Structure 1
Amino acid sequence: MEAESARLRAISHPNIVPYLGLHQTPTTAFLLEEWINGPSLTEILNRKPISAVEALVYTKAICSALEALHKQNYLHLHIAPELIHINKRGEIFLGGIGAAQQINSIIEYPHDKYPNLYFSPEQLNGESLSPASDIYSLAALLYELTTAAWINGKDAPKTNEAIRKAHLDLAPPAPIKLNKNIPDHFSRMLLGTAQTA
C-alpha cells in the first residue's frame, strides 16, 4: 500500500490535484490531496447547461489529466463533478487520484455505496478495466454538463438498481433533444462516446 501511495504521489501534471498520501488514525484512513481554492463542477451542474465550447474546455483539461494517469498505468475510476475543480485563475483540476487503480484491475465494489452515477459498464459488471472505463465516465459527465440531465434524459435515479440498469440497458436520448443549442455533430460525438467507450 505504501509503495502504491508513493507512486501516486510522484504523478505530477498541471491538471491533476497533487496527491499527498495516506493518513491513518486508529479508526480511519484518509486520502489527502492539495486544496484547490475554487468551485467544483457540482456547483456548475446546479445551474443551467453549459455550451459545447465550454464543455470542450473541461474535456481538454480532464483528458490531459487522464492521459497522464493512463501513461503511468493507472485508471481514475471515480470521475465525478465533485472531484473536478476550477481555481481563481480558471485552471481546471481533476482530484481523487489517491484512489486510482492499475489498468486491467478487477474491482468488487460494496453494493451499499456503489454504483456511482458515472461508473462504466465494466465497473458495474466486475470486468477487467481499461482506459475506456474512464472515457465512458467522462462522456456520462459531459452529457450531464451539456444537457442538465443525467444519461437517462431526466434526473438521476435514486437506487443502485436503477443506476445500473440505465448504464447497462438504456440508450441515452440524443443530447441535442435536451439542449437545442448543442451542435448536431457534437451531440452525435458525445452520444457515440458514451455508447462505445
Structure 2
Amino acid sequence: MNATPRRLGKYELQELLGYGSTGEVWKGVDRQSRQDVAVKMLHPDLLQNDPNFITFFMKEWQGITALHHPNIVQVREANISRPSESSNETTPYIVMDYIEGQTTLVKSIQRTSHMGMFPPVAEIVNLFTRVGATVDYAHEQGIVHNNIKPSNILLDIKNTTHLPAGEPMLTDFGIAHLPGNNNNVSTLYISPEQVKGEEANPRSDIYALGVILYEVCTGVLPFQGESSMAIMMHHLNTLPTSPMLINPNIPLPLSEVILRAMAKDPKTRFATATLLAGQTNNRREHSSHNCPPGIEPENTCTHPWNHRRSAR
C-alpha cells in the first residue's frame, strides 16, 4: 500500500490519515452519496496468515456494521477489494463515518492528567457514563470490543454539549479479533485473562475501562515495564498501587471503585460498564457530602483533582 490517492470500489481515497500495525486509514469520499468517509485498508499480509481470513472477516463485520449507537463510529461497509488493472492486491477494507474535527482521548489525557492537571470529577463521571453506556450496548448485541484504549476513543470536538473535551466516540471494534492480528491488543490495557490466552469477554472490557479511569485520575498507568511481556506479567500477577497513594486528592471510595474494576478475577469486577460509571458517580456524591470541616464541596471534594498533582 502507498500514499498515492486512488479509488477503492465506490470510494475515492483522498488523504492518508495514518497507519499502524493493521493497515492504513484514509479520508475518502463516497462517490455516490458525496459524503466524507474514513477507510481502513488492512494489510494484505493478514490474508496470507490465515486461509480462512476472508470468511472470518466478512462474518465478523456483519455484526459490527449492525451496531447503531450515537457514541460508536458507524461502520458502513466491510468488503474485499479484488485484484484489478490498477492493483494486483486483494485488500480487505472497512468504511466508517468520518468524524470531522476530532481528537482522541489519549491526546486529551496527555494534555491534562499526564501534566498533573486533572479534569473535574463531574467531567470524568460524564465521560465514563457515556462510554459505559456505549460499551454495554455493544455487549448486549453480543460484541466484545477486546481492545479498549484511549486511542480508540475519539473525541468529537465539534460536539461539546455534554463534555468540554468533545463527545466520546468508540471505534475499532473487531480489529483485535482478526486472524493473524493477535498482537494488536494493547498490553497497557489488557486484562489478566487475555494475558493467559483466554478469549476476551465483557468483563475484559470493564478491566480496560478501569485502567483508563486509573490513568485519568492519577496521571500514570498502573503497570509499566521494560517490555510488553513484563507489563503483561504485571497485569496477571501484580496488584496496582492504590490510586489515592499516587494522587492524595482522590477520595478513598473512588479509589476502591477503580481497583474493583481492575480486579484480577473477572467475577469481582463490575458486571456492566454502566455500573462502573454509576459507582464512580455515587462515590463522587458520597465524597462531596463528607468533606472535612472548612472545605467546600466545589473545591477538593466534588473536584478532588482540580489542581496539580502533589510532588512525589
TM-score interval w.r.t. the shorter chain? Answer: 0.7 to 0.9
Residue identity in the other structure for 1:42: V
Aligned-partner SS, 2:169: strand
Deviations for 1:23-43, whole angstroms, at most 9, x for unmatched residues?
Answer: 444254333322223211111
Kindly, what percent of the aligned residue pairs are identical?
29
Q: Which runs of 5+ in 1 are unaligned?
A: 102-106
The question of 1:32 aligning with 2:95 is answered: yes
Aligned-partner SS, 1:22: strand
The question of 1:133 aligning with 2:204 is answered: yes
> Which of 103, 125, 139 is the aligned partner of 1:56?
125
What is the correspondence of 1:11-30 to structure 2 with a 5 Å cutoff? 11-25=67-81, 26=89, 28-30=91-93
Deviations for 1:79-137, whole angstroms, at most 9, x for unmatched residues?
Answer: 01111112111221111124376xxxxx98645x5553111111111114321111001
Residue 53 of structure 1, CA deviation: 2.5
Aligned-partner SS, 1:46: helix
> Which of 50, 59, 65 is the aligned partner of 1:9?
65
Q: Which runs of 5+ in 2 are unaligned?
A: 1-56, 82-88, 114-118, 161-166, 270-312
Q: Point out the more displaced range, 177-186 or 163-172.
A: 177-186
Q: Which has the larger radius of gyration?
A: 2
> Which of 96, 101, 108 is the aligned partner of 2:172?
96
Label 1:173 to 1:160 Cα distance change in 2 as closer, same or farther (>3 A): same
What is the correspondence of 1:1-197 to structure 2 with a 5 Å cutoff? 1-25=57-81, 26=89, 28-36=91-99, 37-49=101-113, 50-87=119-156, 88-90=158-160, 91-99=167-175, 110=182, 116-152=187-223, 156-195=224-263, 196-197=268-269
Residue identity in the other structure for 1:93: M
Contact 1:61 1:93 (C-alpha < 8 Å) held by counterparts? no
Residue 143 of structure 1, CA deviation: 0.7
Aligned-partner SS, 2:205: helix
Residue identity in the other structure for 1:8: I
Contact 1:175 1:187 (C-alpha < 8 Å) held by counterparts? yes
TM-score, scaled to structure 1: 0.84
Residue identity in the other structure for 2:170: L
Residue 63 of structure 1, CA deviation: 0.9
Q: Point out the more displaced range, 72-81 or 55-64.
A: 55-64
Compare relative contact order (CA 8 Å, sep 6+) and give the higher one, 1 or 2: 1
2:186 and 2:176 map into 1 onto residues whose CA distance is 16
Contact 1:109 1:115 (C-alpha < 8 Å) held by counterparts? no
Aligned-partner SS, 1:39: strand
Contact 2:193 2:199 (C-alpha < 8 Å) held by counterparts? yes
Residue 46 of structure 1, CA deviation: 0.9
Contact 2:127 2:168 (C-alpha < 8 Å) held by counterparts? yes
Deviations for 1:34-77, whole angstroms, at most 9, x for unmatched residues?
Answer: 22232111111212323432221111111111111111111001
Greater fraction of residues in helix: 1
2:221 and 2:230 map into 1 onto residues whose CA distance is 12
Residue identity in the other structure for 1:74: I
Residue identity in the other structure for 1:57: N
CA RMSD of aligned residues (A): 2.3
Label 1:182 to 1:98 Cα distance change in 2 as closer, same or farther (>3 A): same
Greater fraction of residues in strand: 2
Residue 5 of structure 1, CA deviation: 1.7
